[in-house]
Structure 1
Amino acid sequence: MGESGWRWTDAWIFVSLVIASGAGRHRRAADTRRPEGVRLADVISTADHLNQAIPERHDVEAAVRRLAGAGLVSVTDGWFRITSDGERLWRTRPRAGVGTTVDTVQGVLVRRHSPGSAEWRLAEEEHAAAVQEYLVRSIPAPRRSPEGQTGR
């Protein structure tokens, strides 16, 4: 696969965005979901759960450029969305277990779409802030004992 072809990280970011946005959860119209989409911290969280790794800034930036250029995702004011073409790709992909979904989507991308090249930049500070937000959210809250109860 050449430099301009689809990469595994493109599929990883796409699947993460689909899952984070709930687009794959129900068969409903795209306009029945929250219109603003999801934030980068949600995409990073889902990506980490899928692959036990936090995507690097350059991986997110390159994937979003190719996916947006192909008309599969959009980003506006920090909100990531799946487009109707992206929804169609997701809904018509071959079904697979969660462990192979990213590989399956990469195969679909290679067969059905050409990667694009949209102008989009992810600043280092934005990526770092999203990673920090995700990490803070993922720290479990300490267990508290009920107040005012005495041991019996």
Structure 2
Amino acid sequence: MVETEWRWADAWIFVALVIASGAGRHRRAASSRRPEGVRLADVLYTADHLNNAIPERAEVEAAVRRLAGAGLITVTDGWFRVTPAGEHLWRTRPRGGFGKAVESVHGVLTKRHTPGAADWALGEEEHATAVQEYAARLMIPAPRHPDDDRG
């Protein structure tokens, strides 16, 4: 069954991918970005900073299916990329400040695009691994200065 409406989580995942990939930087050329895209852990990291929550596996899977099916993102060999159509959506959305980015993208998706139904699945293990990778980034201790060991 193909869903005909966008969910807030779809916009959340899209905005997280745009920011994580650097596609949202207005003066940054597409050729200056990593051509392979970003990994799921990068998307989760940014999504957490946007909404103070890590997206659940089902949220990511459903959002990616709809976004990829609409031609706004691609996922190849675990690398997430924003397509030119996705970049156009981002650059032409109504501006409302960073705090309103997800809401404005959700509005644009609802008015201008139809959700797709790409054939893509996110396994429990793959999601769990990305969450662990993200968590490990948070636990990296700050480098110690050699003089800190003085008694």
Superposition TM-score, scaled by structure 1 size:
0.92
What is the 5 A alignment of 1:35-74? 35-74=35-74
> Cα deviation per residue 1:45-78 (whole Å; 9 max; x = unaligned)?
0000000000000000000000000000000000
Match of 1:24, SS state, is: coil
What is the 5 A alignment of 1:28-39? 28-39=28-39
- Counting aligned pairs with the same residue, the percent is 69
**Aligned residue for 2:141?**
141
The one-letter amino acid of 1:77's match is D
State whether residues 30 and 84 of structure 1, in contact with CA within 8 Å, keep that contact through their aligned partners in structure 2: no
Please tell me whether residue 83 in structure 1 is matched to residue 47 in structure 2: no
Q: 1:150 to 1:138 in 2, by over 3 A?
A: closer
Q: Write the distance in 1 (CA, Å) between the matches of 2:73 and 2:120.
A: 12
4+ runs of 1 displaced by more than 3 Å?
147-151
> Cα deviation per residue 1:83-136 (whole Å; 9 max; x = unaligned)?
000000001111121211100100000011000000000000000000000000
Match of 1:4, SS state, is: coil
State whether residues 3 and 115 of structure 2, in contact with CA within 8 Å, keep that contact through their aligned partners in structure 1: no
> Cα deviation per residue 1:21-52 (whole Å; 9 max; x = unaligned)?
00112334423311100000000000000000
Q: 1:149 to 1:53 in 2, by over 3 A?
A: closer
Please tell me whether residue 10 in structure 1 is matched to residue 10 in structure 2: yes
The one-letter amino acid of 2:27's match is R
The one-letter amino acid of 1:64's match is V
Aligned-CA RMSD value: 1.9
Where does the alignment leave 5 or more consecutive residues of structure 1 unmatched?
none
Q: 1:146 to 1:93 in 2, by over 3 A?
A: same
Higher CA-based Rg: 1
**Aligned residue for 1:98?**
98
State whether residues 16 and 46 of structure 1, in contact with CA within 8 Å, keep that contact through their aligned partners in structure 2: yes
The one-letter amino acid of 1:106's match is H
Match of 1:95, SS state, is: coil
